[in-house]
């Protein structure tokens, strides 16, 4: 049985995998950037109260819109745009996760 190494990142546990002999450790950086992107999105585009009440479908549509931008960047091999759009997808996905969690918590009350 293989020993698993874990890194605690805020509330998340990320399994560190070996890829090509190197340990993948960028998970913490990615999650930090995703949290920052979600905050930037709220400051730039949102209304805190409205965003807190946005439906999962709204967050999914926002992420989907950015997924199209990501695929366009991949198609043209624009690596700067790819990195940017990955965060533009992951920020709304984080918000989607939080919206689902709020619904789950409300149902449990």
| pLDDT on residue 49 | 81
pLDDT, tens digit, for every residue of 51-86?
A: 888 999 999 999 999 999 999 999 999 999 999 999
Given pLDDT bands bounded at 50, 70 and 90, which one contains residue 5?
Answer: very low
pLDDT, tens digit, for every residue of 14-34?
A: 444 444 555 556 677 888 899
**Comparing C-alpha atoms, which of 4, 12, 47 is closest to residue 28?**
12
Q: Do the beta carbons of residue 91 and residue 32 sit within 8 Å? A: no
Given pLDDT bands bounded at 50, 70 and 90, which one contains residue 43?
Answer: confident
CA 73/CA 97 separation, integer angstroms: 25
């Amino acid at each position: 049985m293989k020993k698993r190494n874990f890194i605690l990142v805020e509330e998340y546990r990320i399994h560190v995998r070996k890829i090509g002999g190197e340990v993948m450790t960028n998970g913490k950086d990615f999650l930090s950037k995703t949290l920052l992107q979600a905050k930037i999105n709220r400051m730039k585009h949102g209304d805190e109260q409205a965003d807190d009440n946005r439906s999962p479908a709204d967050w999914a549509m926002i992420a989907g819109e950015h997924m199209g931008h990501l695929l366009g960047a991949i198609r043209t091999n624009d690596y700067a745009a790819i990195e940017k759009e990955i965060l533009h997808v992951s920020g709304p996905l984080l918000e989607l996760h939080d919206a689902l969690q709020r619904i789950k918590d409300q149902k449990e009350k």
